[in-house]
Structure 1
Amino acid sequence: MKKKYLYKTLGGFLATSVLLTGCGGGAAAGTAAGSGGSSSGKQSVSLDLITEPPTLDPAMATDTTSDFVINAAFEGLTHLGSDNKPVPGIAESWSTSQNGTVWTFKLRDAKWSNGDPVTANDFVYAWKHILNPKTGAQFANYLYYIKGAKEYNTNKGSADQVAVKAIDDHTLQVTLNTPVPFFLDLTAFHPYFPVDQKVVEKNPKWAADASTIVSDGPFKVASWQHQQKLVLQKNQNYWDKNSIKLDQVTGVIVNDLNTQYQMFKSGQLDMDVKLPATLTPKLLQSGEAKIYPLAGTYMLEFNTQKKPFDNVNIRKALSLAIDRQSLVKDVTQQGETPAYAFVPPGDPGKNGDFRKEGGDLFKDDVAQAKQLLAQGLKEEGLSQLPPITYQYNTVDYNKKIAEAIQQMWKKNLGVDVTLQNEDWKIYLDKLTKGDFQIGRMGWIQSYTDPSAELDLLKSDFGSNYTRWKNKQFDKYVNEAETTTDVSKRMDDMHKADQLIIDQAPVAPLFFYTNVFAFNKKIDGIVVHPSDTFPDVRYMSVK
């Protein structure tokens, strides 16, 4: 997307990734002014989703807005605890073989929101469905750790060869190609969620309307007025319903950050999940807003199959001509850190933080950018760059960043750039089809490991919109994901991180933060570094 995800793309946030898009608006229905409850006495909270969720099908979601709703409505074998570590979900226990490749999960007596039992076969069906090449799921790659999964997804094997099977209704067995130290984190990520096979087979469009969505998580989708509002209600069939304090979560869709903030101040919203940049410093200083960790990178993606962006020197020139310090200080103002590498802080390294161990891999350098641009133009037989279009999804935050970079490229390189914005769903479709030159994107890690960020640029990754293919990069990342030698895998991932900077299929701009403001009546605030929204399963109203 993203996560959450990634690839969680921060789409309107995407994810997918930050800043979502969307349109329409309106106050949060069912929530009393002043918030944190309703006239019926039920516990109710409201927030702005910012953008319409492109899909609520766990197999197809790639963005952070969809991920937020899916995480609230569905549950996998595990889910993230309040300490960000995976805890039992639909699986009440598990065991592994001595070599760490065979996992056996014991499922609890859980039900779907329509009363159907959740069975091991629902997982088998869901996982093979996302791997089916005809499904076209961009996140199918996340299941490649399973033996036979990649072969099936790439038409080199059959569904029967995918090593996941239901021993009985309450026992699921999975065989991996090699030991995967973060496998339990993956099972908390939406591509690994089950779906009710009966429902999906009966109606292929089951995830498009609230009346046909069947889920197994803490909440269910009660109503969905597209481009306006989505309401989640407590799922009375959820196995752990007694731990869920909220009765209702209302997500409105207001694609204007100033309007969102005014709704928050007037009590129409209980949470402000994306504050206007001009107000953020003041709100942080006063304590009204707070910064939460977010493991992700905001970047520009170059379409490396379109001229002149098939030229590495031209790509590097545009990247080096950006003043990242000014961008975060004067434009975004959300407490972000300038990105002088691709992998963000927070991931484990050999003995500490991966990013700290790797350090900065480049610096902004206008003089070098001019030299690289001249060299690239000479290689392409050009006297100047042809018309360039910078595309982004419609959110004021993205617009300000785009305008700032447009001015930097004009001032530092004499390059004229046209800006073009689109609704998030349309924009994402254009990236998928390769209908762009330069596009903004964000990537939020779905689990805490450098590979969660690096996966995005693997040749076979579904959301690698850059079309960049590098065999050495793939080798580094694949070997890092298949060895238990910590020193070697970290060395390989540092090499992969450096190769991204050397080849510049993307221009990392800054590392994300979450900046939220909450109604003082809200308790149980949990924000995972892999999410761009708070986890409502732990939330309550004082």
Structure 2
Amino acid sequence: MGKKFNVALALLLVASLALTACGGVDQSQGGSSGKQVLNLTETQEPPGLDSSKTTDTVSFSVLNNVMEGLYRLDKNNEPVEGMAESVDISKDKKTYTFKLRDAKWSDGEPVKAQDFEYSWKRALDPKTKSEYAYMLYPIKGAEAYNSKKGKADDVGVKALDDKTLEVKLEQPIPYFLGLTAFATFNPLRQDIVEEHGEKYATEPDKMVYNGPFVLSEWNHNKDFQYKKNDNYWDKKTVKLDEINVSIVKDMNQKMNLYSTGKVDFTSLGEDYVDKYQGKPDVYQHNEATNFYLQFNTNNEFLDNAKIRKAISMAIDRKTLTDKISKNGSVPAGALVPPAVQGPEGKSFRDLAGKEYIKHDPKEAKKLLEEGMKEAGIKKIPKLELLGYDSSGAKKDQEFIKEQLNKNLGIDVDLRPMSFDQKLKLESAGDFQISYAGWGADYNDPMTFLDLWVTGGSFNRGDWSNKEYDKLIKKSKTNPDFDERIKDLVKAEELLMEEAAIAPLYYRSQLFLRQTYVKDLYTHPFGADFSYKWAHIEGK
């Protein structure tokens, strides 16, 4: 979400859910007076809820529950109709005609096809500076408009009437319906956006909602609250009346809440894995997420591919996953996680046939020396590692620091900070190495591979390879899906050969979930959590 959803991309930091018991509850229903109430925790403040601009998984999870696109992911992670009642796809698979269902916004106004046309073109407008605008590039004329080489009127999205949206693609792609479930494809009300301007979506009353819930309160950096959206088209399916979310970063605090019966669903901290191992309330969520080191190639030392590869090979990934994280994650030697599929539902990792990076301190030391000689660098500089301030992430970062010092003699200063602050520094290129993560935004290897094209909005280390760019550009419009996947395998191999990043692990998360918490679904792609079907039963 690429989860998906930055992962832009980073689920480790994103969501530690917890459900706190309310005073005076009806034990059979989970809330006072029979109300269905859940109390959750998040590890971070949502940085922004403007779906045209936001890039992080915390915000994506919120938007997934208060907004709805043409499609949404169901409990089986398949795209199902949301605002779209039906779709007609042309024989050449380049024109999609969506018929919208009768649906309303939270203020009672009807959801119209024009809301989608406005939203998509707003994201593509160069003035919006949307980092996710490239997600819309499969649409005819979208890239040209976003790169100031075309006009908005030439973009292939058009409201034929209030209930009919026509979308024309440059070329057929196998995952377009899944794309429409992603937040950037949400509808937006032009009158509301323009009324609030730069303050749009910064407070609950500065946006409107068309999803299962509305955001009723938001006390920044402290807590926020969802309430059931009585104007949602499928409100009969929504059982929860209220969800209260507290922002809690400390894992020990969350585990204490769970152990004392005040939390019903929370992430399982690595220090508590042995205690809960084998118990029925342990739930493992396998993600399509990769955590990695991102190198800033504008740094003289890190501009050398051999030095970057040396840093990558110096890290013992198995110890990191098995002894430090202990959450079911597995070592990564490539970019695209095993959960991401290619043609006919086959894992991209199986199609690629290999992992590219292995732990080898001896070879790493040799590559470091060769790289420094090539770059004319005689002394190893001290490096800074940009990272997260959550307790689990800090342990990972300490381990990486120890490995680089032990195996390469590199001294590393750690810079842990809030999610929002870290994203800003990365976007500004103000880092040397960043401990980052990316979750799949949709189920296709392109959700990872197009991040690293020259000048890409998430290619924050400024790595560049012309052959790589050609392979990605060709694959975005290649109707031969078999040839396309072979080119994507070649692209990933180039990325790994030049060590544009140092993949660390394909992440899983462990949660503790009481048995009375029903149908709270997690997704490997796009947003992390769906509360539409969640309810409490038998508490």
Given the two structures, how large is their TM-score scaled by the length of structure 1? 0.94
Match of 1:298 in 2: 291
Distance in 2 between the 1:324 and 1:170 partners?
51
Q: What letter matches 2:330 in structure 1?
A: T
Distance in 2 between the 1:322 and 1:508 partners?
10
Distance in 2 between the 1:176 and 1:121 partners?
18
Distance in 2 between the 1:245 and 1:505 partners?
46
- The CA deviation string for residues 424-449 of structure 1, in whole angstroms up to 9 with x for no partner, is 11111000000000001110001111
Task: Evaluate the alpha carbon distance shift between residue 149 and residue 377 of structure 1 in structure 2; reply closer, same or farther with a 3 A threshold.
Answer: same
Structure 2 counterpart of 1:246, from 216, 233, 240: 240
Match of 2:231 in 1: 237
Aligned-pair CA distance for 1:408: 0.7
Is 2:535 the partner of 1:540? yes
Aligned-pair CA distance for 1:305: 1.5
Q: Is 203-212 or 122-131 further displaced after alignment?
A: 203-212
CA contact (8 A) 1:32 1:268 kept: no
Distance in 1 between the 2:444 and 2:403 partners?
33
SS at match of 1:129: helix
Match of 2:332 in 1: 339
Aligned-pair CA distance for 1:398: 1.3
Match of 1:267 in 2: 261
CA contact (8 A) 1:312 1:376 kept: yes
Distance in 1 between the 2:18 and 2:305 partners?
46
Q: What letter matches 1:194 in structure 2?
A: P
Aligned-pair CA distance for 1:532: 6.7
Match of 2:71 in 1: 78
Match of 2:489 in 1: 494
SS at match of 1:47: strand
Task: Evaluate the alpha carbon distance shift between residue 211 and residue 532 of structure 1 in structure 2; reply closer, same or farther with a 3 A threshold.
Answer: closer
Aligned-pair CA distance for 1:61: 1.5
Q: What letter matches 1:330 in structure 2?
A: K
Match of 2:472 in 1: 477
Distance in 2 between the 1:266 and 1:49 partners?
19
Task: Evaluate the alpha carbon distance shift between residue 350 and residue 182 of structure 1 in structure 2; reply closer, same or farther with a 3 A threshold.
Answer: closer
1:193-272 pair list within 5 angstroms: 193-204=186-197, 205-272=199-266
SS at match of 1:243: coil
Q: What letter matches 1:536 in structure 2?
A: Y
Match of 1:91 in 2: 84
- The CA deviation string for residues 309-348 of structure 1, in whole angstroms up to 9 with x for no partner, is 1111111110000000111111111110100111100222
Distance in 2 between the 1:26 and 1:528 partners?
17
CA contact (8 A) 2:3 2:528 kept: no
SS at match of 2:40: strand
Distance in 1 between the 2:247 and 2:509 partners?
19
Distance in 1 between the 2:19 and 2:477 partners?
49
Distance in 1 between the 2:328 and 2:527 partners?
15
Q: What letter matches 1:300 in structure 2?
A: L
CA contact (8 A) 1:33 1:266 kept: no
SS at match of 2:134: helix
Q: Is 100-109 or 204-213 further displaced after alignment?
A: 204-213
Match of 1:526 in 2: 521
Q: Is 395-404 or 33-42 further displaced after alignment?
A: 33-42
Distance in 2 between the 1:155 and 1:350 partners?
34
Task: Evaluate the alpha carbon distance shift between residue 26 and residue 454 of structure 1 in structure 2; reply closer, same or farther with a 3 A threshold.
Answer: closer
Distance in 2 between the 1:31 and 1:124 partners?
46
Task: Evaluate the alpha carbon distance shift between residue 3 and residue 220 of structure 1 in structure 2; reply closer, same or farther with a 3 A threshold.
Answer: farther
SS at match of 1:520: coil
The number of equivalent residue pairs is: 533
Identity in percent: 38
Given the two structures, how large is their TM-score scaled by the length of structure 2? 0.95
CA contact (8 A) 1:291 1:513 kept: yes
Q: What letter matches 2:63 in structure 1?
A: I
Task: Evaluate the alpha carbon distance shift between residue 438 and residue 34 of structure 1 in structure 2; reply closer, same or farther with a 3 A threshold.
Answer: farther
Q: What letter matches 1:38 in structure 2?
A: G
Match of 2:323 in 1: 330
Aligned-pair CA distance for 1:86: 0.7
Is 2:183 the partner of 1:190? yes
Q: Is 524-533 or 74-83 further displaced after alignment?
A: 524-533
Distance in 1 between the 2:497 and 2:505 partners?
18
Distance in 2 between the 1:295 and 1:404 partners?
23
Q: What letter matches 1:343 in structure 2?
A: V
Task: Evaluate the alpha carbon distance shift between residue 124 and residue 256 of structure 1 in structure 2; reply closer, same or farther with a 3 A threshold.
Answer: same
Match of 1:443 in 2: 438
Structure 2 counterpart of 1:378, from 370, 373, 376: 373
SS at match of 1:113: coil
Aligned-pair CA distance for 1:491: 0.8
Distance in 2 between the 1:340 and 1:426 partners?
28
Distance in 2 between the 1:54 and 1:219 partners?
19
- The CA deviation string for residues 207-244 of structure 1, in whole angstroms up to 9 with x for no partner, is 00012221100000010111111100110000111011
Distance in 2 between the 1:156 and 1:362 partners?
40
Q: What letter matches 1:534 in structure 2?
A: F
Distance in 2 between the 1:47 and 1:32 partners?
18
Distance in 1 between the 2:205 and 2:438 partners?
31
CA contact (8 A) 1:390 1:437 kept: yes
Match of 2:509 in 1: 514
Task: Evaluate the alpha carbon distance shift between residue 120 and residue 29 of structure 1 in structure 2; reply closer, same or farther with a 3 A threshold.
Answer: farther
CA contact (8 A) 1:20 1:393 kept: no
Match of 1:403 in 2: 398
Aligned-pair CA distance for 1:472: 1.3
Distance in 2 between the 1:378 and 1:516 partners?
47
SS at match of 1:138: coil
